[in-house]
């Protein structure tokens, strides 16, 4: 078996069950592992540490499959991991047709994202167990290991869920770091419909798994959309970076008086408008602005517009550590104007999905924005992704989405 031996004392993070082996921790490689091949990782003194997937092109040179010396990596391994992940979601996630079924490292499958959509059918409540043909699984393979085991993973997914349809959305630039090309296409079953309707918290959304962002929908914001729905009654709401209207529809469902939404993607806004119709909401309550959020926030402020609830859910401003300073300025900019747009007692839901900006730094940035805006802002709640995006205690890097719910005095 191909074996990777670490430099002295480089075994510490693996002993704490952190699942990555960096190139600079490796002393020598015995054998010639192909990309994605399983390697044994040993400490300098020869002790077994883990079985891992070999990523020769990446600085993250190996990703751990298992810390158990007696657990081989084979078809049965992937079946077990997928079944465990599904059982966790079945027990924990309710009231939605959009679930993150596999969240990479946290589900013991590093580099794999799987979302599971179930088409809405008014006569049947959403049930992960027996969606069958109404289901659509969407995968992103982002590391050499899961790429090498793609067939086994697809079999495990269809077997565990009973859903025959699997589509790949590996059109993500991160694959470059693994020496992999971007790719999309049907992996099993039927081609996905042009658009499917899924329900979440009683709201119907169009999801286009082929052309939408990521896997089609921002599944991670489910609980936060529910909170916005709860707090929107009779309020004037502003939703910035609205995409297909996730938070906007939640606010409309929650009884918002009026919802103004901004996004620079005309295509996303077209879907958002279809979503209003699909839910039978009065289109008069919703205004959609196809525009740059930075400029529009300032313009709304200058025009004297004010809101009771503002959502800021921008794209990842810091794709990596080098971008943190510029991203911090961008977060501060929108949060500053977002806070100024609130009436007294107004609520700000503000997020960052940049992995390179941790919760502490994000809070500092928002605090700086409040100081510059000269408003007293109180944190009511710290926010994050839903329970289908678990966070391994050994792997804090998994926490990419963080948010704050603030109230102005
Ligand atoms: N809140 C959404 C997801 C937001 S994704 C949901 O719950 O579904 C981020 C969105 O920001 C994308 O739709 C993208 O088109 C939009 N965007 C990116 N840069 C922008 C800018 N400068 N101004 C306005 N929208 C922008």
Alpha carbon nearest to ligand 1 atom 11, residue? 241
So what's the pLDDT on residue 128? 65
CATH of domain 75-197: 3.30.750.80
Residues ≥6 apart with Cβ < 8 Å to 18: 394, 395
Ligand 1 atom with minimal separation from the 224 CA: 7
Tokens representing residue 225 in the block:
């959309």
∠ CA 398-219-385, rounded to 5°: 40
Q: How many percent of the chain have pLDDT more than 70?
A: 98
Alpha carbon nearest to ligand 1 atom 7, residue? 246
CA 158 to chain CA centroid, Å, is: 22
So what's the pLDDT on residue 95? 81
Ligand 1 atom with minimal separation from the 314 CA: 9
Say whether pLDDT at 124 is over 60: no
Residue 123 pLDDT grade (very low, low, confident, very high; cuts 50, 70, 90): very low
Pocket around ligand 1 at a 6 A CB cut-off: 218, 221, 241-244, 246-247, 262-265, 268, 292-294, 313-315
Q: How far is the centre of ligand 1, averaged over its atoms, from the C-alpha of 63 (Å)?
A: 31
Let me know how many helices (H) and strands (E) the chain has, helices first: 10, 20
Alpha carbon nearest to ligand 1 atom 22, residue? 292
Q: Rounded to an integer, what distance in angstroms lies between the CA atom of residue 90 and that of residue 97? A: 12
Is residue 272 within 8 A of residue 245, CB to CB? The reply is: yes
Alpha carbon nearest to ligand 1 atom 20, residue? 264
Q: Please list the residues that pair with 109 across neighbouring strands.
A: none
CA 105 to chain CA centroid, Å, is: 13
Q: Rounded to an integer, what distance in angstroms lies between the CA atom of residue 242 and that of residue 118? A: 22
Is residue 52 within 8 A of residue 63, CB to CB? The reply is: yes
Each residue of 191-221: pLDDT tens digit? 999 999 999 999 999 999 999 999 999 999 9
Each residue of 279-338: pLDDT tens digit? 999 999 999 999 999 999 999 999 999 999 999 999 999 999 999 999 999 999 999 999
So what's the pLDDT on residue 202? 93
Ligand 1 atom with minimal separation from the 311 CA: 1
> In terms of Cα–Cα distance, which of 348, 272, 278, 273 is closest to 306?
348
Q: Which of 200, 208, 237, 243 to mutate to test the pocket of ligand 1 (most atoms within 8 A of CB)?
A: 243
pTM value is: 0.96
Average pLDDT over residues 62-89: 97
> In terms of Cα–Cα distance, which of 290, 294, 377 is closest to 333?
294
Residue 387 pLDDT grade (very low, low, confident, very high; cuts 50, 70, 90): very high
Ligand 1 atom with minimal separation from the 313 CA: 1
DSSP 3-state assignment of 281? Answer: coil
Alpha carbon nearest to ligand 1 atom 25, residue? 263
Say whether pLDDT at 362 is over 60: yes
Name the DSSP letter for residue 236.
Answer: E
Please determine, looking at this structure, whether the domain spanning 3-66 carries the CATH number 3.90.1860.10. no
Whether 242 is catalytic is no
Average pLDDT over residues 53-73: 98
Q: How far is the centre of ligand 1, averaged over its atoms, from the C-alpha of 292 (Å)?
A: 9
Q: Rounded to an integer, what distance in angstroms lies between the CA atom of residue 254 and that of residue 247? A: 10
In the chain, CATH 3.40.50.150 sits at 218-408
Is residue 182 within 8 A of residue 172, CB to CB? The reply is: yes
In the chain, CATH 2.30.130.10 sits at 3-66
Greatest Cα-to-Cα distance within the chain, rounded to the nearest angstrom: 70
> In terms of Cα–Cα distance, which of 87, 81, 128 is closest to 106?
81
Q: How far is the centre of ligand 1, averaged over its atoms, from the C-alpha of 263 (Å)?
A: 5
Q: How far is the centre of ligand 1, averaged over its atoms, from the C-alpha of 128 (Å)?
A: 29
Exactly one of 139, 163, 240, 353 is catalytic; which is it?
A: 353
Residue 132 pLDDT grade (very low, low, confident, very high; cuts 50, 70, 90): confident
Q: Rounded to an integer, what distance in angstroms lies between the CA atom of residue 133 and that of residue 137? A: 10
Residue 397: phi and psi, rounded to 5, are -55, -20
Average pLDDT over residues 64-86: 98
> In terms of Cα–Cα distance, which of 23, 30, 35, 24 is closest to 5?
30
Q: What is the rounded average pLDDT for all residues in the chain?
A: 96
Average pLDDT over residues 363-379: 98
Q: Rounded to an integer, what distance in angstroms lies between the CA atom of residue 220 and that of residue 371? A: 30
Indicate the class that CATH gives domain 218-408: alpha beta
């Amino acid at each position: 078996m191909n074996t990777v031996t670490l430099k002295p004392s480089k075994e510490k993070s693996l002993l704490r069950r952190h699942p990555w082996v960096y190139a600079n921790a490796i002393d020598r490689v015995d054998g010639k592992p192909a990309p994605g091949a399983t390697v044994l990782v040993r400490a300098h003194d020869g002790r077994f540490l883990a079985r891992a997937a070999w990523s020769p092109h990446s600085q993250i040179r190996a990703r751990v499959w298992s810390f158990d010396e007696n657990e081989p990596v084979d078809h049965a391994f992937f079946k077990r991991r997928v079944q465990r992940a599904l059982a966790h979601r079945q027990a924990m996630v309710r009231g939605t047709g959009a679930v993150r079924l596999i969240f990479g490292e946290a589900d013991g499958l590093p580099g794999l994202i799987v979302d599971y959509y179930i088409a809405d059918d008014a006569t049947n409540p959403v049930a992960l167990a027996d969606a069958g043909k109404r289901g659509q699984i969407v995968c992103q393979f982002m590391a050499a290991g899961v790429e090498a085991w793609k067939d086994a993973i697809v079999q495990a997914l269809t077997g565990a869920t009973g859903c025959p349809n699997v589509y790949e959305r590996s059109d993500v630039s991160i694959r470059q770091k693994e020496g992999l090309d971007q790719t999309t296409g049907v992996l099993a079953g039927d081609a996905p419909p042009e658009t499917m309707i899924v329900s979440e918290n009683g709201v119907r959304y169009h999801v286009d798994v082929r052309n939408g962002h990521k896997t089609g929908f921002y599944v991670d914001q489910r609980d936060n959309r529910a909170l916005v729905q709860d707090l929107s009654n009779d309020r004037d709401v502003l939703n910035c970076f609205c995409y297909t209207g996730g938070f906007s529809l939640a606010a409309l469902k929650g009884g918002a008086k009026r919802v103004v939404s901004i996004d620079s993607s005309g295509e996303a806004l077209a879907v958002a408008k279809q979503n209003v119709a699909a839910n039978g909401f009065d289109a008069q309550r919703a205004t959609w602005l196809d525009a740059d959020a930075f400029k529009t926030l300032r313009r709304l402020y200058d025009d004297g517009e004010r809101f009771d609830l503002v959502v800021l859910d921008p794209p990842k401003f810091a794709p990596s550590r080098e971008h943190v300073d510029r991203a911090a300025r961008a977060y501060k900019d929108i949060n500053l104007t977002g806070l100024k747009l609130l009436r007294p007692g107004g609520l700000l839901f503000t997020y960052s999905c940049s992995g390179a900006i941790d919760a502490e730094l994000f809070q500092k940035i928002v605090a700086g924005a409040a100081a510059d805006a000269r408003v007293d802002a109180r944190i009511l709640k710290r926010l994050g992704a839903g329970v289908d995006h678990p966070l391994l205690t050994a792997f804090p890097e998994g926490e990419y989405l963080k948010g704050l719910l603030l109230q102005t005095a």
